Structure 1
């Protein structure tokens, strides 16, 4: 293990030069206070949990101090936002502090959100608020615990600095980690500004640092695009299987690594609703839950366009055609596991779709259904779950088909229960739970967010004394309006 002062920086992206980012120092927050830290994320940097108790920890992650070998840079990129191209975006309130190489040889970007004005802040103030910082922290670490690829969150630091959004709020900083913070929008920026040599340099950097296996392919850039597509298909399959709605799938919010990235007005499904729009600014429903699959495909097409100087259009089109089959296969495999099925059969797609249709019609709690289904023997569990459905005849037909499917696979209930509970969480990050701990934190009480983080870090485990975190949400908690404002 290391101390904070012993972190080893090797700033590969910074060495690309000023074409790709701008050197700038973070602007400190007033009266910084540590809100919450993730021991699991700290371990990625070989930091023991005790380091979070050191005054230096809060000083570093509130902009008051910086490592001598860090090289803070604001990255430039562009992107399609709600389908319209925005020619220049960039890190408007975040800084890539540098890249840390851990003892296992892994590289982790340290990215500080809410670090103040940059050349890319446009009309913004360069700040983040406590509310959104807590939401991103909780989601990042919870998704990872669920087995869903995500950027990570090291800590949240609050302050007495006032930030103005719809109302005055407390300013905060979030330190997030990822192997890379390069987005689809990075490639779009250099393509649309016709800086093709810089685009090639970016491609070579990203492939060499994160996709080295593509260098063995006769067409490395084509192989790179396929790998990005496969990772993105897998990511979206996990989102859809676990009921995660991102809310702002702009191309500048799409990670080149296929991880969940840039959290805004996200939501996990409470009652199953494929038409859920979790961003109240999304008037057209472009980023609704059911649209995440076609939007991911659309975003990959936008990335493909940016690669046309180096990859034949026909090759890119052939690769794009793989997205839906890859997504479908992975999503169906995940749903089989959630249903406790161990082998594939031809009727599985219809079985899952029929269930989702029934859940939609009856507003059934999505997380609770699957957990309850594995808790008892199929007949007993289905008899209990039947009470939640409106179309009883339709549910009975589905239940009979499901029971026959389970019976054909045989196996003991204890093994089935263990298998299903390993993939069906007991605890999920519901919006009302996040709202409750945010309100406490805004009053200066950080104990609730720390406890919720601890619960969500073990989502599949029974946690005696914490049963209230697994309860269905109250009606007021199902319809919280979340905006992009942060």
Structure 2
């Protein structure tokens, strides 16, 4: 049976918000549908691993509705600050929410698209996704998942047979449609739109929906919502740092209120611990640079507080916002110790260790991925030199959290720097050779097991 009766649990809870929150849309009719990637691990968690390839393409390339879920795709409405400038002309312009269903942890999940065609919010865009953009999103989400970052997961990538014109890559270029599995697609910008429209009833309804359906809490308290979002987004910022990841576009419409990272465009992994490293060529002021990501995410959380202000007095919202650093500091310490394969000792000792590691990484220019590979669950090699003596002494005080016995540790560190991404894409673009892409995914998943 294609749909596992034990694991497949379709939902349509988002319809409870009402038509003012979305537009019903129709997917583009693509000239072809060539399956390039399917995430059977994620599919098993939502009861869809039993679909054969033809059924898979029918649902995730032609967008035939999943039984019991949404009967028509929904393009969600939202606003947002883009590089600190407010934009009220946003919304799902090349994607939609296709289905909702429960995962094996009983969480309400969305299957959302990227590149599925034009919507009322496309403005002057064609609603499409380049195949290169889809490949990059798969690589980013798989790498982040392996490194312990809360992230959406690339569920499906299907090449669609159109030629696209783009200004930022050689054109014409190949097209694709991506489906991602996410713990909701409600953004900070979703709340900002309602505040902009002075829709207090809508704000209350959305607050209750997020608390009930995404956080599992019987509450409609906006202060409680902000508290949860501040905690989750602080953890996200910490995990970005430990992963050496630069999202590139941390606008308020790109921040999911569940604290789950998503929508990977100009992302990069930093080769070294350089706080000023940026991912996007258009980020000329370094607003979203590697070292400024916690600040940027905190600022976005502030915009949620502003949006919730019509529902509650300012003081309790300010109090929750002020807790962001208190959540972030232990979270980044825990995340870096986790990637180092070390057990915590005490808050004071743990923070001292992490601060010294960060200092040494920054001043010596050692590669981030090389360092974490060499240091995982073992003494830092003497070849690192005297500049690392203080960090080495502090690391030696932390017991390993798991043995270094996986075969992954016998090879080389898996990284996903821009040169590696471009090499993977070059093989596809020049010879339709997908072997480097699949080899990279296999190596990433081996790393995930070694780290977990």
Gaps of 5+ in 2: none
Please name the residue that 2:414 is paired with: 427
Give me the whole-angstrom Cα distance separating, in 2, the residues matched to 1:108 and 1:142.
Answer: 21
Please name the residue that 1:303 is paired with: 304
For the Cα contact (< 8 Å) 2:66–2:99, is it kept in 1?
no
**1:157 alignment partner, SS class:** strand
For the Cα contact (< 8 Å) 1:88–1:189, is it kept in 2?
no
Give me the whole-angstrom Cα distance separating, in 2, the residues matched to 1:437 and 1:408.
Answer: 40
- How far does residue 297 in structure 1 lie from its aligned partner after superposition? 0.9
- How far does residue 94 in structure 1 lie from its aligned partner after superposition? 0.1
Please name the residue that 1:148 is paired with: 149
When normalised by structure 2's length, the TM-score is 0.89
- How far does residue 43 in structure 1 lie from its aligned partner after superposition? 1.2
Please name the residue that 1:466 is paired with: none
Please name the residue that 1:90 is paired with: 91
Q: 1:125-153: CA deviations, max 9, x gaps?
A: 11111111111122223322222111111
For the Cα contact (< 8 Å) 1:154–1:175, is it kept in 2?
yes
Which of the numbers 208, 212, 221 marks the counterpart of 2:216? 212
Please name the residue that 2:236 is paired with: 235
- How far does residue 316 in structure 1 lie from its aligned partner after superposition? 0.6
Q: 1:197-238: CA deviations, max 9, x gaps?
A: 1121111111111123362xxx72211110111011111111
**1:182 alignment partner, SS class:** coil
How many residue pairs were aligned?
A: 440
For the Cα contact (< 8 Å) 2:245–2:268, is it kept in 1?
yes
Please name the residue that 1:453 is paired with: 441
- How far does residue 329 in structure 1 lie from its aligned partner after superposition? 1.4
- How far does residue 338 in structure 1 lie from its aligned partner after superposition? 4.1
Give me the whole-angstrom Cα distance separating, in 2, the residues matched to 1:30 and 1:7.
Answer: 30
**1:441 alignment partner, SS class:** helix
Give me the whole-angstrom Cα distance separating, in 2, the residues matched to 1:244 and 1:144.
Answer: 12
**2:217 alignment partner, SS class:** helix
Structure 1 pair 430–39 and aligned structure 2 pair: CA distance change class (3 A): farther
Please name the residue that 1:201 is paired with: 205
For the Cα contact (< 8 Å) 1:29–1:172, is it kept in 2?
no
Q: 1:138-183: CA deviations, max 9, x gaps?
A: 2223322222111111110012211111222111000111121100
Give me the whole-angstrom Cα distance separating, in 1, the residues matched to 2:64 and 2:402.
Answer: 52
For the Cα contact (< 8 Å) 2:65–2:99, is it kept in 1?
no
Structure 1 pair 287–407 and aligned structure 2 pair: CA distance change class (3 A): closer
Please name the residue that 2:76 is paired with: 75
Give me the whole-angstrom Cα distance separating, in 1, the residues matched to 2:82 and 2:143.
Answer: 26
- 1:358 paired with 2:345, answer no
For the Cα contact (< 8 Å) 2:377–2:402, is it kept in 1?
no
Give me the whole-angstrom Cα distance separating, in 1, the residues matched to 2:208 and 2:356.
Answer: 46
Stretch of structure 1 that moved more, 239-248 or 139-148: 139-148
Give me the whole-angstrom Cα distance separating, in 1, the residues matched to 2:67 and 2:336.
Answer: 48
For the Cα contact (< 8 Å) 1:61–1:175, is it kept in 2?
yes
Stretch of structure 1 that moved more, 67-76 or 307-316: 67-76
Give me the whole-angstrom Cα distance separating, in 1, the residues matched to 2:65 and 2:143.
Answer: 28
Give me the whole-angstrom Cα distance separating, in 2, the residues matched to 1:174 and 1:124.
Answer: 17
**1:346 alignment partner, SS class:** helix
Give me the whole-angstrom Cα distance separating, in 1, the residues matched to 2:296 and 2:249.
Answer: 10
Root-mean-square deviation (CA), in Å?
A: 2.7
**1:213 alignment partner, SS class:** coil
Please name the residue that 1:482 is paired with: none
For the Cα contact (< 8 Å) 1:427–1:460, is it kept in 2?
no
Which of the numbers 166, 171, 174 marks the counterpart of 1:170? 174
Please name the residue that 2:373 is paired with: 371
Give me the whole-angstrom Cα distance separating, in 2, the residues matched to 1:137 and 1:101.
Answer: 22
Please name the residue that 2:58 is paired with: 59
Give me the whole-angstrom Cα distance separating, in 1, the residues matched to 2:214 and 2:426.
Answer: 39
Give me the whole-angstrom Cα distance separating, in 2, the residues matched to 1:326 and 1:153.
Answer: 28
- How far does residue 433 in structure 1 lie from its aligned partner after superposition? 2.4
For the Cα contact (< 8 Å) 2:276–2:290, is it kept in 1?
yes
For the Cα contact (< 8 Å) 2:377–2:401, is it kept in 1?
no
Give me the whole-angstrom Cα distance separating, in 2, the residues matched to 1:133 and 1:39.
Answer: 17
- How far does residue 437 in structure 1 lie from its aligned partner after superposition? 2.1
- How far does residue 66 in structure 1 lie from its aligned partner after superposition? 3.8
Please name the residue that 1:115 is paired with: 116
Q: 1:2-32: CA deviations, max 9, x gaps?
A: 4399955321113422200011110122121
For the Cα contact (< 8 Å) 1:183–1:256, is it kept in 2?
yes
When normalised by structure 1's length, the TM-score is 0.83
For the Cα contact (< 8 Å) 1:182–1:256, is it kept in 2?
yes
- How far does residue 249 in structure 1 lie from its aligned partner after superposition? 0.1
